[in-house]
Structure 1
Amino acid sequence: MSKSERPVLTPGPEHPIIVSDHEIDVTISARGELLAADAKALELKEHVYAPVLYVGRKALDSTQLERSEHTSWCPYKGEANYFHLLLENGERLENAVWTYEEPFQAVALIKDRLGFYPDRVAVERV
């Protein structure tokens, strides 16, 4: 499917999306390794899905992220780009992190923030 053929939908009563307008203090860890002790996140609540804490990209050292070629499409948020997460012990968590670099207007607050798969990375409120 070409980019021009991808569906684009607007959040509404049948599929609500709410992004908090205030930052939450969080920690980020993976496999017992503390990655960030004082990160800031915005919470996105989407329809029936579990809330996602989107962390400011500066919370992680750029050497911890390796851009992946993987992408995905959300008709409500846009195209997601992915990163592999590199741990100090040399472990590489494939496509564990995603970001919306050009999100749709309805979710513009998550632009350039990082989302993490909870089965691989823990983002916890402080």
Structure 2
Amino acid sequence: MTAQEPKIPGPDHPITIETTGVRVVAGIGPHIVADTTRALTLREANYPPVQYIPLDDVDQTLLAPSATQTYCPYKGNASYYSIALAEGGPADAVWSYSEPYEAVADIAGHVAFYTDRVEVVVGA
């Protein structure tokens, strides 16, 4: 993907990142994909809060890299993973910003899950 001009979060588009402070578990049925006490909560404008989980706390054997990539002018280029289960798993259910823009640098090394494809329990 080509480099784009980053936008800086501000009053018109606020972004905050803070330690979640409780256990966060992401899973599909009986399969635990991630389990952490080190999640970060990213709040962006009027969007629902998103849990960013350290990649080290994710069962990476369940992640299958996808060719999908997207761009956010506030966060940068995102790469996606599908969840690979024996019975099949959701495509492009996980994303990460390997080199996020400076304003959101804390999410580097973390992944997030689409909550309509993966159950994410905060305070599990």
Q: TM-score, normalised by structure 2?
A: 0.89
Residue equivalent to 1:54: 52
Mean alpha-carbon deviation: is it higher for 59-68 or for 110-119? 59-68
Distance in 1, matches of 2:112 and 2:60, equals: 15
Following the alignment from structure 1 to structure 2, what is the Cα–Cα distance between the partners of residues 29 and 76? 28
Query: Is 1:64 aligned to 2:62, yes or no?
Result: yes
Deviation, structure 1 residue 35: 2.8
Which is strand-richer, 1 or 2? 1
| Residues matched between the structures, number | 123
Percentage of pairs with the same residue: 36
Q: Helix, strand or coil: the match of 2:78?
A: strand
Q: Which residue of 1 aligns with 2:122?
A: 125
**Deviating runs (4+, > 2 A) in structure 1?**
21-24, 31-40
Which sections of structure 1, spanning at least 5 residues, go unmatched?
Answer: none
Deviation string for 1:66-117 (max 9, x for gaps)? 1111100000000000001112x43121000000000001000100201100
Cα offset, 1:58, TM superposition: 1.4
Further displaced range: 91-100 or 33-42: 33-42
Per the normalisation by structure 1, the TM-score is 0.88
Aligned positions of 1:91-102 closer than 5 A = 91-102=88-99
